[in-house]
Structures are given as C-alpha cells and as structure tokens.
Amino acid sequence: MKGTVVDISGRECRLYKDSNAEFLLVQPIDGHDLEVLDQEVEIIKKLSEKPFSFVAFMIKDWNKELTPWPAPPVFGKIPFGNGATDTLNYIVSQLLPFVQEEIPHVILGGYSLAGLFALWASYQTDKFEGIVAASPSVWFPNWIEYATDNKPFAKSIHLSLGDKEEKTKNPVMAKVGNAIRKQNNLLTKQIDNTILEWNPGNHFIDSEKRTAKGFAWVMNK
C-alpha cells in the first residue's frame, strides 16, 4: 500500500487507499510523523488482517490546532490555543466526505497532542467508532476535570504511555502518569473496550510503533 499526496480543502494530506477497506484510519500529523508514516502503515498491516484505508493530514500550528482551550506554555514561549474545534470541523465536514465513501468504521488516532485531540474528539461526536491516544498529553491543564465530567461516544479507546514519560523534569508534563491512570479508570467505567498499554522508553521514541499498535488493537476488537 503506497501513500499519495492529496490536497483536501487546502490541507496537505497523505492517503493510503484500499478498495476493500472496512476501516478508515484518520491521524493528524507533523513533519516527524510524516517521515515515519510509511513504516506506521506497514506495522498496522502486520498487526491486523482487517482491510483499511488511512488518511493523515498536516497540522501547521501544533499547539493551537490540537488543543480544546487556551493554556500557558509548558516549555518555550508558545502558548496553547483553542483550535481543536476548527480541526474537528475540518475532519467531519471536509476530510471524511472526501475519503470515507462507503467505509463503515472510522478510527481517529494521534500521538502526543494529537492523541489528546483524538481523546477530546471522542467526547464531541459519534463519528469515530474507535480512538487511539498514543502517549497523549493528558497532563494538559484541566483535561482530567473535563474527562471526569463527560462521557465519550467512541466504543473502543486505546491509551498508551511510555514507562519513562512521567519521569521528566518538567513539572507539568511529569503529571502525565497519574493523569493517564485516572483517564483509564474513567474509561473502564464508561465503555467496554478500553486498555492502557505501557511501552518502554520516554516520549520521544517509537511514535509510529506506538500509534500503529493502537490502530491495530481497535480494528481487532
């Protein structure tokens, strides 16, 4: 399966198409994700026999387009914005009509802030049957409070985290371990198919492997 570059409503996208697809996998990506995207798709194929199409779309402003509400910078000087609603609207109103066709099952996934975005989207709409939140930024201010007060629409949610991620010196990001445990506890009470998988290493390795394992797990459920 080879990816092709397509423009969908002004956004650069990478589309991997299977004419027999039962699942459509959707992922917001940055430049690093793009570099390892072919490997990610190949790993998914090895881990699941289910036929799927895959579409990834580029995020230009990572800190703005993937976060649901403003927050101060965690490192550097770039604050977080509230562009997640616009990004979700793009997926639902423009991306899916372009690529979904007759594919019955849609899974949204992502890594890091894109994983947080995927989680947040599951509380907003029933368009996504499954969610993959790989090393998601659940340390994000007020996120766990939001998740506590709301219930996701998705039927299956795969969470994962590196076992060294909570050992960072950054005091905000160090909260990620406790936060994802709380997120997992919430989900196990709300939906039938959910799991928290611990991967070896810190946040900055194996993003394509971690995300691929999540997509395969949801498809195999």
- Give residue-wise pLDDT tens across range 2-53: 899 999 999 999 999 999 999 999 999 999 999 999 999 999 999 999 999 9
Q: 144-184, pLDDT tens digit by residue?
A: 999 999 999 999 999 999 999 999 999 999 999 999 999 99
Classify 6 in phi/psi space as left (phi over 0), alpha (psi -120 to 50) or beta: beta
Domain count, the chain: 1
Q: For residues 216 and 47, what is the distance between their CA atoms, to the nearest angstrom?
A: 6
Question: What is the crossing angle of helices 207-220 and 37-47, to 10°?
Answer: 30
**Other beta carbons within 10 Å of 115:** 31
Q: Look at residue 65 and tell me whether its pLDDT is greater than 90.
A: yes
Which class for 51: exposed (0-12), middle (13-18), buried (19 or more C-beta within 10 A)? middle
Whole-number pLDDT of residue 55:
99
CA angle 209, 57, 89 (to 5 degrees): 120
* Domain containing residue 101: CATH number: 3.40.50.1820
Q: Look at residue 75 and tell me whether its pLDDT is greater than 90.
A: no
Residue 45 is given by DSSP the state H
| CA distance readout (Å), 163 to 16, 17, 166 | 31, 34, 7
Confidence tier at 76 by pLDDT (50, 70, 90): confident
At position 154, the amino acid (one-letter code) is: A
Q: Rounded mean pLDDT of 117-142?
A: 98
Q: Rounded mean pLDDT of 103-129?
A: 99
Q: For residues 131 and 118, what is the distance between their CA atoms, to the nearest angstrom?
A: 6
- The average confidence (pLDDT) of the chain is 97
Which class for 200: exposed (0-12), middle (13-18), buried (19 or more C-beta within 10 A)? exposed
At position 21, the amino acid (one-letter code) is: A
Q: Look at residue 117 and tell me whether its pLDDT is greater than 90.
A: yes
Q: Which among 87, 195, 185 is positioned nearest to 144, based on CA atoms?
A: 185
Q: Look at residue 1 and tell me whether its pLDDT is greater than 90.
A: no
Residue 18 is given by DSSP the state -
The domain of 108 spans 3-220
